[in-house]
Amino acid sequence: MGLGVYGDALLLGLVEGLTEFIPVSSTGHLLLGSALLGFDGPPGHTFEIAVQLGAILAILWVYRAKLFGVALGLASEPADRRFARNVILAFLPALVLGFTLHGFIKGVLFNPWVVSVALIAGGVAILWIERNLPLPRVHEIDQIGPMMALKIGACQVVAMIPGVSRSGATIMGALLLGVDRKAATEFSFFLAIPTMLGATVYDLYKNRALLGAEDFNVIAVGFAAAFVAALLVVRTVVGFVARHGFAPFAWYRIALGTVALGLLILYR
C-alpha cells in the first residue's frame, strides 16, 4: 500500500467522524467514498467498520463525566442502574441479529446500489416522521423506560442496511415513541458505544487472518481522523437539531442518494 492509501484513509476517517452521529449514514458515505476514491484498504470492508472506534472514543471523551458517574453509581444509585440497563436492553436486538446476519450483511448489502436507495428511502422517511411526530412526553434520557429502550433498539436493527443510518434509525424511532429531540439524540449517542464497539471487535475477529500490520496502520490513520472530526460533530449536533430539526439531513440524503444512483446507472 502506498501513501495514496493513507491519504484516502485520512479522508474517509474524517467522513466517518463527520457523519456517524447525524442521520445521514456514515457507513453509506464510507462505501460511496471508497468506491469513488478506488480505496484499496483492508480486506472484507474491515476499515469501514473498525474506523468507527475513533467516533466511539469521541463520545467517551465528551460524555466522560456522565459515564464515569454511572460507573461509580452502579452499586448504589438506582438511576445509574436504570440508565445502564436501558442501554443494554437497546443494544440487545442489534447484538442478536448482527451476530446472526453478519455474513449476509457484509457479503450482500455492502454495495453502492443498496446505499443509494437506502439514502433516498431514509430521507423520505425522515421527512414523513418530522411531519407526523407525536407530542413528546419524555424530555430526559433518565425518563426512558425498559420497554421503550428495547423498542428503540429494535429500530436500530434497520440500520444494519448500509445507507439507513444507525443514528437516524434510533433517533427517529425514539421520536415516534414520544422522546423529544435532545433526549433522543443523546440516547442515540450512548447506544452507539456498545453497538459500534461490538461490531468493530467482532469484525476484526472475523477477519483477523486476512489483516496484516499495514492494514492496521491504515485503520489507525482513519481512527485518528474520525476521532477529531466526531469531536466537532458531537459538540454541536444536539444544539443544531434542537433548533432546526432533521429535515435538512433528509434533503441532503435524498440529494446524495439521487446523484449516487444516477452515477451508478450512468457508469455501470
Asked if residue 83 has pLDDT above 80, the reply is yes
Express each pLDDT in 152-192 by its tens digit. 999 999 988 988 998 899 999 999 999 998 899 889 989 98
Asked if residue 59 has pLDDT above 70, the reply is yes
DSSP H helical ranges for 38-77 = 46-50, 52-62, 64-73
Asked if residue 2 has pLDDT above 60, the reply is no
174: domain range?
3-267
Helix 3-19 × helix 26-37 angle, to 10°: 160
Question: What's 77's DSSP letter?
Answer: -
Q: What's the whole-number mean pLDDT along residues 97-111? A: 81
pLDDT of 56 reads 87
| Closest by CA position to 33, among listed 11, 55, 1 | 11
Q: What percent of the chain has pLDDT over 70?
A: 98
pLDDT of 211 reads 81
> How far, rounded to the nearest angstrom, does the alpha carbon of residue 22 sit from its chain's CA centroid?
8
pLDDT of 44 reads 66
Q: How far apart are CA 200 and CA 3, in angstroms?
A: 25
Beta bridge partners of residue 246, listed in sequence order:
none
Q: H/E element holding 223?
A: helix 213-244
Q: How far apart are CA 21 and CA 156, in angstroms?
A: 13
For residues 166 and 156, the answer to whether their CB atoms sit within 8 Å is yes
Q: How far apart are CA 23 and CA 119, in angstroms?
A: 10
Q: How far apart are CA 141 and CA 19, in angstroms?
A: 23
Q: How far apart are CA 109 and CA 25, in angstroms?
A: 14
pLDDT of 149 reads 96
Cα four-point dihedral sign 146, 150, 155, 161: positive
Backbone angles phi, psi at 138, to 5 degrees: -120, 120
pLDDT of 212 reads 82
| Closest by CA position to 187, among listed 228, 249, 138 | 138
What is the tally of structural domains in the chain? Answer: 1
Asked if residue 39 has pLDDT above 90, the reply is no
Backbone angles phi, psi at 42, to 5 degrees: -55, 150
More confident of the two residues 215 and 124:
124
DSSP string spanning 168-185?
HHHHHHHHHTTB-HHHHH
Asked if residue 257 has pLDDT above 80, the reply is yes
pLDDT band at 3 (very low <50, low <70, confident <90, very high): low
Threshold 0.75, pTM exceeds: yes
Helix 146-157 × helix 166-176 angle, to 10°: 140
Express each pLDDT in 217-252 by its tens digit. 899 999 999 999 999 888 788 778 777 788 999 999
**What is the grid cell recorded at 47?**
476499515
Single-letter residue type at 195: T
